[in-house]
Structure 1
C-alpha cells in the first residue's frame, strides 16, 4: 500500500541536496556529476559498455556547446532517456536503486534519474494558466483512456494484496522505479513471468506521468510507454488467464497532473 505522496522522493531529495535547496539545475553543473556517477555505478561492467555511454553523452555536450541552456538540457534529457532503453546494466541498476530507495546511490544515480524524470514530464505545457488547464481537464474527463500492458514477476504476497485491494478506491499502490509498458499486449506478454498488467491511463489528466519513447529508443518495435517513478495506481480486478497461465491485474493510474498544479 502507499501514501498519497506524488512523485519520486529519491529524485526530489537528490535535487534538494545538489542545488542546496535552490532547485535550479544548470547543464555545466549536472553534466560532470552525471558522467562521474555513471562511471562509478558501471565500474564492474565491461569497459567498452561504459565507454560507449560516456561517448554518447559527450557527443551531446559537443553538439549543444553553442545552444541555449534549455536546449542543452533537453538534448541531455533525450540522450538519457534513450540510454534507459539500451540493453546494458543501466536500467537495472537505476531501477534497483529506486525500488529499494538505496540512498547510497543518490549521488551516483541522482543526476541520471533527474534527467529521465524530467524528460517524461517535459511535454506538459507548464506555461498554460492553471484555470485554463483545469477547464481542459474537466472537458476530457470522459475521453477514451489509453490502455497499456506490462508483463512482470510479482511475489505471492503482493499478488494477494492486489486481490484484497481490488475494487477499493481507498487502496492504492505505487511503483517506485521507472516502469516500462507497451501499447502492444503481445509484446508485453514476452516479458515477466506470472502477471500481465492491463493499465488504464487517462491521457490528459496523467500526461505528466508517462511518455511515448517513439523513435527515442533502441527498440522502436516495442511501442514503449515509460512511466515516471512514483506512479500510483488502484487495482480494479485480478483474474486468472488459463491460456497465458498468468494472473491478469487490471489497474488504473491515479492522475497527479491537477494535484501537482495546486
Structure 2
C-alpha cells in the first residue's frame, strides 16, 4: 500500500488529489503519462478509504486497489489503470533567468505531474492520436498572444516562426525544436518557469500548448535518462533554504522544468547563493533527467533538462566558508 510520510504530510499540504492514467495505453513505456484527476466526490471517497488504511474502495464503475495502486473496472477486471496520490503544498520563490522557482512537496517518487500541463491536456482532450501540427500552431499563436502584454512581439514572432518551420515534421523533431527554443535566452524561458512554478492557470490557453510539447521531451530522447551528477545554481532566500533543510530525507518535487549542467565549472559561472548537487544513481522509470546538449541552443553548457514534476530526495544542506549553500539532492 502507498506509504504515508509524516515528514511530508504536514500542515503545508493544502490539498490531496488522486489521479488515474488517461493514456490510450496506460502501461506504455514510451508515452508521457497523462494523469487525470478524479471528480471531487470520487476523490473524497478514495481519500477517506485511504486514510482508514483500507486495502480497496469502490466507486460507481471502478474498484480502487490501494495495494497495487490500480483502478479496476467492476465489469471487466482486465481493464486496469495506474493511479496516484499527490499532495499539493506550495513553496514560493523569486524567479530570474538563472533561478527557477521550486515546486511542491510530494510523497511519491517517479511522479511526472504538472498541474498546469495536466489542466491543458484535459481542457483540450489530448491523446496519443492528437494532431501535433495543430498543437504546434496553438503553441505559436499562444506565445504571440502572451507576448503582446509584455511588449515582446518581435521575439515572440521569431519563436513562432521556429515552431511553424517544424509544424509538418515528425513528432520528435517538433519536441526537439521546443527544447532548443526553451534553452534560448528569451522571455519565454523566464515566463514558462514562473507560470509552472506558480501553477498559474490564467496562462493555460497561451503557454499551455508549448509547455505540453516541451513536457514530451523524454520521449524524443527515448526516455534515456542521464546517470551521474548534475549541478545548478540558484538564488534562494533564507526561508527557502530552511525549507530544504527541514526536508532532509524527505521527498519533494519541482513544478517547473529544471535546466542543469553536467559541468561543475559551468555551474559555478552562474550567480547565486546556492549550488544544487543532484545525483542520479540509476535510470528512472520515465527518464527524469535528459542530456539535451545535442539540441540545446548552448551546446557547450552541457545541459541536462529535468522533467517538470520530478521528485527528489533532500540528502544534505550545508554552507561553506564563503557563505554559499550546497544542497544535495537525489533522483531515483
If the length of structure 2 is used for normalisation, what is the TM-score?
0.63
Alignment partners' CA distance in 2, 1:189 and 1:121: 30
Alignment partners' CA distance in 1, 2:156 and 2:318: 42
Q: What secondary structure, in the 3-state scheme, does the structure 1 residue paired with 2:166 have?
A: helix
CA contact (8 A) 1:153 1:193 kept: yes
Post-superposition Cα deviations, 1:4-35, rounded to whole Å, max 9, x if no partner, equal 3522121122111111x756421233122111
Mapped pair 1:31 → 2:136: yes
Alignment partners' CA distance in 2, 1:173 and 1:230: 9
Mapped pair 1:152 → 2:230: no
Does 1 or 2 have the higher relative contact order (CA < 8 Å, sep 6+)?
1
Q: Hey, what does 1:87 align to over in structure 2?
A: 185
Alignment partners' CA distance in 1, 2:144 and 2:153: 10
Q: Hey, what does 1:248 align to over in structure 2?
A: 326
Alignment partners' CA distance in 1, 2:190 and 2:163: 19
Post-superposition Cα deviations, 1:38-59, rounded to whole Å, max 9, x if no partner, equal 1112112343312211211122
Q: What secondary structure, in the 3-state scheme, does the structure 1 residue paired with 2:199 have?
A: coil
Q: Which has the larger share of helix?
A: 1
Cα RMSD of the aligned pairs, angstroms, is: 2.2
Q: 1:122 to 1:75 in 2, by over 3 A?
A: closer
Q: Hey, what does 1:258 align to over in structure 2?
A: none
Q: 1:37 to 1:239 in 2, by over 3 A?
A: same
Q: Which has the larger share of strand?
A: 2
CA contact (8 A) 1:197 1:249 kept: yes
Runs of 4+ in 1 over 6 A off after TM superposition: none
Q: Hey, what does 2:107 align to over in structure 1?
A: 4
If the length of structure 1 is used for normalisation, what is the TM-score?
0.79
CA contact (8 A) 1:122 1:208 kept: no
Structure 1 residue corresponding to 2:288, chosen from 196, 209, 212: 209
CA contact (8 A) 1:15 1:23 kept: no
Max Rg structure: 2
Structure 2: tracts of 5 or more residues without a match? 1-7, 9-104
Q: Give how far 1:179 is off.
A: 0.4
